[in-house]
């Protein structure tokens, strides 16, 4: 930002901290020294003054209670000053807004099923097109929620809306062959594309900023944790509802299947998003623990997979289902690495955890290469289909991402590259996944004659 003044921003922060009764002038000096030290390190790694100030302020909050309080209360305002976005509603008004959008999502999610043809193939309670449209409507509600609370600029909202409309319309009007590959691929890839488009609204005009893209990754990981917790609670509620009504002679299973589960799942998308924003202090303590617990476990899984495969004569010949499982595992590994990065202090020195991540990335590359070889072999034997083309493209994209990540992670571990470089690579690569998902949804069906 051209008119950003680092000294003025630090002075404003200092003034706010000094106004606290519980802090002495000497403590203010010490806090400012810590803040400037972190800013210098970040600018030295290539960040602009405004980015360095914002990140340093947030990271300082992680080690100091007073600064944490300051960061929580003022980061949004500071960010607003940097990017021109007004503050978002919080507290009861934010909850009411989230519940309003959750209620709307709960209603809209059922509308597409009303237009299902009689006898149509069912896909999670509706036809494939209805299922896809329902997801689009729910995510559109989430986009609307972000547009309001983050005061997203009109251009970003329009861009995301165009993407939502194009993807949803394609899934509704394309003349898919019933049970064909392209229809299933479109249904699977559409939510991925829509979620990444959602990031444009979330960023509120700062999508090009690496820190904002990392915030969206962090939001995605925390949202997934909250959504899983809500889903567990919802499963207990549904089971109790069916059991209690069954005890008095009423069959509530159909009601639970047709209404409780889809409407509840749709509303939970908004509630989980609000929880991420409102209860950050809670989840910030849980999520890093989860990443540190699951990273060693997934590393052990990947190593065991390769070792057992080699002992059994190699993984050169694998069937389609196993290839799909490999791809899912690779995506989970990538998500784990990304989320661990988003929860990490960028100024902390490399530790055993980063070395363990390096092993995890190396095993992921090995598995990806195995999948690619098997995929090319199958294409040579049986020809190119939509499924194979989608899988091949995804694995090539993953391979590039993982290989560069290994190089940068190695350089970071040996102290030759700042963590910010690795962070920028991962966040800059997100649009590649968005582009590929859009291609699979919009281009693949006509390319493979909707079969």
Nearest 5 degrees, angle CA 13-CA 16-CA 18?
105
Which residues 6+ apart lie within 8 Å of 444 measured at CB?
182, 185, 186, 386, 389, 390
Residue 333, beta-bridge partner list: none
361 CA to centre of own chain: 19
Which residues 6+ apart lie within 8 Å of 25 measured at CB?
18
Name the nearest CA neighbour of 234 among 205, 253, 214, 262: 262
pLDDT in tens, 246-295: 888 888 998 888 889 999 999 999 999 988 877 655 545 566 677 777 88
pLDDT in tens, the chain (451 residues): 456 778 878 877 777 776 655 556 666 777 788 788 888 877 877 777 887 887 777 766 544 455 555 545 444 444 444 333 444 555 556 788 999 999 999 999 888 877 766 666 655 556 777 888 889 999 999 999 999 988 888 888 999 999 999 999 998 899 988 878 898 899 889 999 999 999 999 988 787 788 788 888 888 888 888 899 899 999 999 999 999 888 888 889 988 888 899 999 999 999 999 888 776 555 455 666 777 778 888 888 888 877 877 776 655 566 667 777 788 888 888 888 888 887 777 777 888 888 999 999 999 998 888 888 888 888 888 888 898 899 899 999 999 999 999 999 999 998 888 888 888 888 899 999 999 999 999 999 999 998 8
3-state helix vs strand vs coil in the chain, percent to 5: 80, 0, 20
User: Using an 8 Å Cβ cutoff, are 359 and 375 in contact?
Assistant: no
Nearest 5 degrees, angle CA 385-CA 389-CA 395?
145
**Domain segments of the chain: what residues?**
6-63, 93-284, 287-417
């Amino acid at each position: 930002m051209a008119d950003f003044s680092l000294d003025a921003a630090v002075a404003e922060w200092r003034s706010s901290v000094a106004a606290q009764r519980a802090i002495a002038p000497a403590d203010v000096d010490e806090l400012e020294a810590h803040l400037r030290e972190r800013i210098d390190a970040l600018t030295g790694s290539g960040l602009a003054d405004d980015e360095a100030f914002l990140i340093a302020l947030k990271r300082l909050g992680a080690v100091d209670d007073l600064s944490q309080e300051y960061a929580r209360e003022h980061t949004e305002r500071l960010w607003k000053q940097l990017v021109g976005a007004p503050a978002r509603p919080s507290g009861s008004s934010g909850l009411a807004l989230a519940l309003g959008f959750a209620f709307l999502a709960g209603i809209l999610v059922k509308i597409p099923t009303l237009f299902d043809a009689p006898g149509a193939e069912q896909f999670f309670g509706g036809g494939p097109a209805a299922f896809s449209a329902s997801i689009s409507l729910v995510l559109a509600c989430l986009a609307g929620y972000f547009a309001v609370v983050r005061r997203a600029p009109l251009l970003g909202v329009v861009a995301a809306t165009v993407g939502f409309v194009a993807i949803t319309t394609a899934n509704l009007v394309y003349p898919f062959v019933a049970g064909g590959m392209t229809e299933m691929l479109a249904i699977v890839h559409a939510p991925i594309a829509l979620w990444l488009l959602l990031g444009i609204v979330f960023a509120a005009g700062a999508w090009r900023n690496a820190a904002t893209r990392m915030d969206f990754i962090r939001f995605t990981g925390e949202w997934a944790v909250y959504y899983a917790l809500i889903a567990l609670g919802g499963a207990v509620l549904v089971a109790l509802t069916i059991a209690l009504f069954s005890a008095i002679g009423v069959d509530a299973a159909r009601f639970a299947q047709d209404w409780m589960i889809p409407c509840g799942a749709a509303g939970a998308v908004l509630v989980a998003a609000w929880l991420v924003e409102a209860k950050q202090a809670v989840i910030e303590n849980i999520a890093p623990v989860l990443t540190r617990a699951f990273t060693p476990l997934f590393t052990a899984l990947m190593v065991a997979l390769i070792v057992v495969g080699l002992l059994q004569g190699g993984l050169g010949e694998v069937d389609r289902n196993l290839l799909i499982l490999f791809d899912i595992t690779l995506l989970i590994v990538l998500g784990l690495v990304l989320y661990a990065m988003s929860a990490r202090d960028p100024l902390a020195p490399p530790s055993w955890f980063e070395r363990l991540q390096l092993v995890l990335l190396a095993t992921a590359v090995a598995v990806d290469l195995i999948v690619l070889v098997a995929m090319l072999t199958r294409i040579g034997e049986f020809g190119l289909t939509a499924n194979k083309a989608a899988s091949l493209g995804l694995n090539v994209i993953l391979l590039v991402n993982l290989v560069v990540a290994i190089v940068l992670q190695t350089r970071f571990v040996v102290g030759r590259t700042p963590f910010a470089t690795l962070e920028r690579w991962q966040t800059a690569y997100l649009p590649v996944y968005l582009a590929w998902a859009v291609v699979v949804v919009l281009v693949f069906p006509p390319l493979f004659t909707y079969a």
